[in-house]
């Protein structure tokens, strides 16, 4: 999607280092939040912020939207993993590894099925941006 919006890879390519920097810093910056909110609430909050980041480039299809999306998704990606594994340990106790394995398998399945589903929805000859209902 970024490549469709901004054809210069030197411009949109900065979203990946920004994503990585946010993913590296966020767990350190939010380590105390799990104590304050609890793992489950932190996990829910990280999903909501991640969803906002994923959706942001649709109404704001410009470099600013892509960069803020990279910050939001990058920062919540690691927090989501951290909070979910800690919550699994708290909930499942001695069989936490089984729950963690199931969660990781479900995440991996989503990483595979999601893009396939989006490709099917938009079709081979159309872009996602052309399929947006408000752009029709």
Q: What would the pLDDT profile of 34-73 be if each residue is shown by its tens digit? A: 889 999 999 999 999 999 998 898 888 888 998 999 999 9
pTM, rounded to two decimals: 0.80
Q: What residue spans define the domains of the chain?
A: 2-135
Confidence at residue 130, expressed as pLDDT on a 0 to 100 scale: 58
Q: Look at residues 7, 6, 21, 20 and name the one whose alpha carbon lies nearest to residue 63.
A: 6
């Amino acid at each position: 999607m970024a490549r469709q919006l901004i054809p210069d890879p030197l411009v949109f390519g900065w979203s990946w280092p920004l994503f990585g920097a946010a993913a590296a810093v966020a767990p350190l910056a939010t380590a105390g939040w799990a104590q304050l909110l609890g793992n489950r609430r932190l996990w829910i909050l990280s999903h909501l912020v991640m969803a906002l980041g994923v959706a942001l480039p649709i109404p704001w299809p410009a470099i600013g939207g892509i960069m803020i999306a990279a910050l939001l998704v990058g920062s919540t990606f690691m927090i989501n993993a951290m909070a979910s594994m800690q919550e699994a340990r708290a909930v499942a106790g001695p069989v936490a590894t089984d729950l963690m394995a199931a969660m990781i398998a479900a995440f991996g399945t989503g990483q595979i099925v999601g893009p396939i589903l989006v490709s099917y929805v938009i079709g081979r000859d159309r872009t996602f941006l052309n399929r947006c209902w408000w752009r029709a």
